Amino acid sequence: MMDTFLKSPQLYARVAGVCYLLIILLGIFGQIFVRGSLIVPGDIATTVNNLALSPMLWRLGIVGDIAMHLLDIPLMVILYLLLSPVHKPIALLALGFNLIQTAVLATNKLALIVPLIMLGAPEYVAAASTEQLNAQIQLLI
C-alpha cells in the first residue's frame, strides 16, 4: 500500500478532499435541514411535537451523522499516510486523537435514537407526565 501511496499521493489527497466535502455537506444537511427544522430553541413542547410528526426526518439526520463518522475513517488513514513521512509520531498521535473523537461522536449518536423510542412506545408516554417526557427528550437532544 505504501508503494502505491508514494507513487500517487495526489490521488489520496483528492480522495481526502472528497471525504471532507461529503462530511461538510452531510453536516449542513443534518444541522440546517434536520435539526434546524425540527428543534425549536426554547420551546421543547413544539420540538417534541415536531419529532413525533417527523420521525423519518430525524432518523435520516442520524444516518447522515453516522455517515459523516464513517467518512472520517478513510480520511484519518489518508491523513496519516500523508503526514507520517513528515513526522511519524505526531501523525500517529493525530490519528489516535481522531479515532477517539470519532468513537465518542458516533457513540453520542445513540442518544439521538432514544427520543424516537420514547415517543413510539405507549408505555413510556403513559409512565411520565408530558413535562417529564419533554424534559427527558430535551436532555437527550
Cβ atoms of 109 and 102 within 8 Å: the answer is no
Q: What number of helices (H) and strands (E) belong to the chain?
A: 8, 0
Report the run of H or E that residue 9 belongs to, with start and end.
helix 9-28
99, amino acid identity: L
Mean pLDDT within 22-29: 96
Q: Give the confidence band of 1 by pLDDT, cuts at 50, 70, 90.
A: low
Q: How many CB atoms lie within 10 A of CB 61?
A: 23
State the pLDDT at residue 6.
63
Report the run of H or E that residue 66 belongs to, with start and end.
helix 55-83
Mean pLDDT within 62-89: 94
Per-residue pLDDT reduced to its tens digit, 77-130: 999 999 998 999 999 999 999 999 999 999 998 899 999 988 888 887 788 888
Mean pLDDT within 60-85: 94
Per-residue pLDDT reduced to its tens digit, 37-60: 999 999 999 999 999 999 999 999
Q: Give the confidence band of 2 by pLDDT, cuts at 50, 70, 90.
A: low
